[in-house]
Chain A
Amino acid sequence: MLSVMKKFVNKVFRNLFRKKSVLKIGLYGPPNGGKTTLANRICMDWLGEEMGVASPIEHETREVQVKEQINIKSGNREISFSLVDTPGIATKIDYENFVRKGLSEDEAKQRAKEATKGVIDAIKWLDNMDVVIVVLDATRDPYSQVNITIIGNLAARDIPVLIVGNKVDIRKADVKKIKAAFPQYDVLGISAKKGTSIEEFYEALFVLAG
């Protein structure tokens, strides 16, 4: 009962402040999906500068990154928001995977330690988000529990979600499979790296956040 009340009060408060404070759009997903690559594309398109470092090694982003004051325009529509790039969320982290990718034992252990903190931060930040783009690697199995847990937690918090199936430039990408896994959601196939369907992506942002 108490928790229901708390939820209600939280929601009222959030809605009160949502109008006034800046819109926060979060990028969430498992490691290596392309969150930072997409963040960089958005920032290059509208600010002319990059936001963070992308890497083929998982858990490259280990701290929540915020880019303030991004304005995107299309015709007479305009939205302005802060973009939040988060560390990839995982249920396990094994430093030996980083050793296998060529890091030294010490570097790998340090990266693993920072990565665990990053996951915790990403989850904590969920409550601050107004809109979330879930970035999934379309070449991978969409039914993983991390994906379901992230999307389920956003739904439980009533946060609007757009699912992006990224890396459609790779042949084995399968956006249909993501749609089948999350039939109640808007799913858009893009390539953050090549820029494929990026205009459609901005259109979807207007619909979601405008």
Chain B
Amino acid sequence: MSLTLQFIPYQEIENLSSLGRIRKLLNIVKEKKIVLLEGRLKKEEEAELIKTTMEEINQDFKGIELAVIYPGTQNLDFVRKLRVQFINALLGDRQGLTIVGPASIIKEIKKDPNRIQLLTLEPSKRQSGKKR
């Protein structure tokens, strides 16, 4: 079994409309690839991504798994907190990493503050949607 990860640098979505961004991500995910997007969508775009995903769910496309990783400041001392906040403010949505994958392949993305786990479905189960 193999998984394809496709990296999208932030500048590839920077000048796209919200719709364009969502389209780009969903098109790749529908090719059964996992997107690693540099940076983040806006909060409203995340909600829009879920809405569009719901509109397009069918026999072959069961939806997405989504995770956004963003440097938090919870466990830092004051000086380091300020530094991270400064960098976050400077880089805006360019900061962080967004992972989007097809739900038919990724069962769950577990995200503790310091660790990301992609739990995949066994290949046998992945087929089941296609047989019908």
A residues whose Cβ falls under 8 Å from a Cβ of B: 89-94, 96, 112, 116-117, 119-120, 123-124, 126, 141, 143-146, 148-149, 152-153, 155-156, 180, 183
Contact = CB atoms under 8 A, between A and B. Distances in A.
A29 to B, nearest CB: 14
A205 B75 CA distance: 30
B63 A92 contact: yes
A45 B62 CA distance: 39
Interface residues of B, number: 27
Contact of A149 (B50, B65, B128): B50
Nearest to A105: B132
A20 to B, nearest CB: 27
B117 to A, nearest CB: 11
Interface string B42-73: 11101100110111010000111111100000
Interface string B106-117: 000111110000
A183 B53 CA distance: 29
Interface of B: 42-44, 46-47, 50-51, 53-55, 57, 62-68, 74, 103, 109-113, 128-129
Interface of B is mostly: mixed
A120 B47 CA distance: 9
Given A96-B128, A123-B50, A149-B43, A141 B55 contact: no
A152 B51 contact: no
B63 A91 contact: yes
A155 B43 contact: yes
Contacts of B74: 180, 183
B57 A112 contact: yes
A119 B51 contact: yes
